[in-house]
């Protein structure tokens, strides 16, 4: 078993993050007689899943739905809810990917204009395109 310090180092996250996930019931810690939190190697996969989903900006409730599906026997309600969530998040991720691709192209244009000492109007037009890329 790993104590909370060892487990946080292994995952590259803070102890406070692990305590939060414990309080939320996403990653319950095992408790010793001294009430310290301990984790098993088998908890690593769940912790990595949670951290990855948080990096993808999923809400705690959404993560709970996914971890419930992973850790508990499948029910029709859980399966339907999880499927709907995954489909929605995939759409969101594809939208973000398109946005960032366009943003990268626009920033390349701005850099090129700056390097070529483009007139201020061209630089301004490129910057304005960044503002419209969000819409």
CA angle 56-2-8, nearest 5°? 35
In a domain, 83, yes or no: no
- Are residues 54 and 106 both part of a single domain? no
Q: How far is CA 51 from the centre of its chain?
A: 7
Instruction: Show the tokens assigned to 23.
Output: 């309080």
Are 1 and 51 members of one domain?
yes
Instruction: Tell whether 98 is covered by a domain.
Output: yes
Asked if the structure places residue 77 within a domain, the reply is no
- In angstroms, how far is CA 84 from the centroid of its own chain? 18
Read off φ and ψ for residue 31, nearest 5 degrees.
-115, 135
Determine the structural domain holding residue 2 and report its residue range: 1-58
Could you tell me if residue 78 is inside a domain? no
Structural domains counted in the chain: 2
- Same domain, yes or no: 51 and 96: no
Cα–Cα dist 66/58, whole Å = 10
122 belongs to a structural domain: yes
Tens-level pLDDT at each residue, the chain (135 residues): 899 999 999 999 999 999 999 999 999 999 988 889 999 998 999 999 999 999 988 999 989 888 877 777 666 766 777 778 788 888 988 998 999 999 898 888 887 877 776 566 666 777 777 766 655
* Domain-embedded: residue 53: yes
Q: What is the CA radius of gyration of the chain?
A: 22
Domain of 41, CATH number, reads 1.10.1660.10
pTM of the model: 0.61
- Counting Cα atoms < 13 Å in the Cβ hemisphere of 47 gives 23
3-state secondary structure of 30: strand
Give the tokens for residue 41: 């190697």
């Amino acid at each position: 078993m790993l104590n909370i310090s060892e487990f946080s180092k292994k995952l590259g996250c803070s102890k406070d993050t692990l305590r939060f996930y414990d309080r939320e019931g996403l990653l319950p810690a095992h408790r010793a007689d001294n009430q310290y939190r301990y984790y098993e190697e088998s908890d690593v996969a769940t912790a990595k899943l949670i951290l990855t989903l948080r990096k993808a900006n999923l809400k705690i409730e959404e993560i709970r739905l996914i971890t419930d599906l992973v850790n508990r026997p499948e029910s029709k309600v859980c399966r339907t809810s999880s499927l709907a969530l995954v489909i929605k998040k995939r759409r969101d991720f594809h939208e973000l990917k398109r946005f960032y691709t366009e943003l990268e192209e626009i920033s390349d244009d701005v850099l090129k204009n700056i390097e070529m000492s483009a007139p201020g109007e061209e630089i301004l037009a490129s910057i304005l395109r960044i503002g419209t890329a969000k819409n």
